[in-house]
Copies of this chain bind each other. A is one copy, B any other.
């Protein structure tokens, strides 16, 4: 039982947007036991859509389509799907009712013809209610194969997948169980890690697949297995991880299923009734943004001072001018003072501080581009580290944020 995802839209093929829908859909399908064979992105072009549908029908049993359902003339997915199924479009009164409700509640303007036409669906299709927008989902079945068309707006697609598509798929088919367990490591390269765990890798049973995912100083190790007996799969993955752990103890961070590193930290802080704040210079609010993107962050994250201009390190954070003059703004001493001040200012158990030069210019400091000092303040004292993250701005910022979180995580685990 395999699925194919077709994403439709010129904006994908010209690189104007990144297709995030496919990742969401793939993950959701995996969770109910459906493997995705292929993801295909095609233009808003009748012939191309027809060709992609025909190829997907050959390869897969479940074909999920997103995009091209807007009310404007450039969107042709619906009529092309009707053509593919040799079908005509008819008005669905329940869909029209939903559109009226949205317009009355949010838009507060009269419906115009193109809005009303959003209620047209192929006569062979079951309309799936899109409570967040005017384009309905469409569910079509031919020779036992399921085709689902959904709008490309991520928020509308996600609700349709969760509330309509996944429950219907589970009802129609019996799926195997798929498990992915991803182990997060840091501080070791991909090839060194592979060499270290080679004997373990070679003894893995055939049905357990291993993958290495390196990124910005971290390597994720993914174990995947699939089968009809959930208990067997779960047990095998667990045993293999138990065998692996003693070999990677020094580089182990956590499991990806338990969340990102900031979520792991958040969970630990909340369990200990502890709090955190940040004082960010070169990371510019990135670490604060990472913490606060997760629900419940207010339970442990108290705030941040982003001191981008040097003067604000004095005025807002309360560092001494002499200290900055003596050691320069990008220095271990300044990072240390920032972390200490932030911890006191926000009255927290921990504080992270970053100061460095993300480039491309040298800015206020004489430090080489890529130099970053990270300090972690605890009630016991401050630990400061110096790093050189290369010359690529986005990478420097992201590496610094990741590294700061890793250092904090280690510090919390020590307690």
Contacts and interface: CB of A to CB of B under 8 A. Distances in A.
A100 interface: no
Interface in A1-58: 10-20, 22-30, 35-44, 48, 52
- Name, among A190, A222, A285, A394, the residue most crowded by chain B CB atoms within 10 Å (CB to CB): A285
A346 B23 CA distance: 41
A305 B302 contact: no
Interface in A149-208: 153, 155, 180, 182, 189-192, 194-195, 201
B308 A297 contact: yes
Interface in A371-415: 392-395, 397
A380 to B, nearest CB: 23
A137 to B, nearest CB: 17
A291 interface: yes
B303 A316 contact: yes
Nearest to A55: B55
A215 interface: yes
Interface of A: 10-20, 22-30, 35-44, 48, 52, 70-75, 107, 109, 112, 114-115, 134, 153, 155, 180, 182, 189-192, 194-195, 201, 209-215, 222, 224, 256, 275, 277-278, 280, 283-289, 291-293, 295-298, 301-309, 311-312, 315-316, 345-347, 359-361, 363-364, 392-395, 397
Contact of A289 (B16, B52, B73, B286): B286
A356 to B, nearest CB: 12
Chain A: interface secondary structure? mixed
A109 B22 CA distance: 39
B395 A155 contact: yes
Contact of A191 (B43, B114, B189, B224): B114
A304 B303 contact: no
Contact of A312 (B27, B109, B303): B303
B182 A16 contact: yes
